[in-house]
Structure 1
Amino acid sequence: MSQIDTILTLIAQKHLGIETLETRRSDRLDFHDTAVWCLKDALAAAFQAGVEHAKKTRNAKKSVPAKS
């Protein structure tokens, strides 16, 4: 599982009560009723995860010495 898949799965579990984001080919397992406030929280968490990733990437690039 890629890093982004892991992050998205954790967000789905925490904010949406969804066990996995894998397709299970079952309507009762693949479709979920979700309150809009839970969806909003999940989207905010995904956005924040992107912000944190961008900060880490930017800081990692700054710490690498420039090639001459």
Structure 2
Amino acid sequence: MDAKTLERLLNQIAAEHLHIDTLATRNSDRLDFHEVSVWGLKEALQAAFTAGQQSKQTTQPN
């Protein structure tokens, strides 16, 4: 997975599970720090883990 694809995937996970619009630093506490629920964090971590597993399966030859 290239860096641009990874960045898109991480932003998608953050938006869907944590309700964070962007992972870009905006140099503002109000925009750069977020309160998230533990269940949202758990879902985001599970989504990232699953994406990693799927990526590993598609890049390894049988």
Q: TM-score, normalised by structure 2?
A: 0.91
Aligned residue pair count? 60
Deviation of 1:19 after TM superposition, in Å, equals 0.2
CA RMSD of aligned residues (A): 1.1
The structure number with the bigger radius of gyration is 1
Counterpart residue type for residue 39 of structure 2: W
Query: Equivalent residues in 2 for 1:1-68 (5 A)?
Result: 2-58=4-60, 61-62=61-62
Query: What are the ranges of 5 or more consecutive residues in structure 1 without an aligned counterpart?
Result: 63-68
Q: Write out the 4+ residue segments of structure 1 that deviate beyond 6 Å after TM superposition.
A: none
Deviation of 1:42 after TM superposition, in Å, equals 0.1
Distance 2:49 2:23 in 1: 18
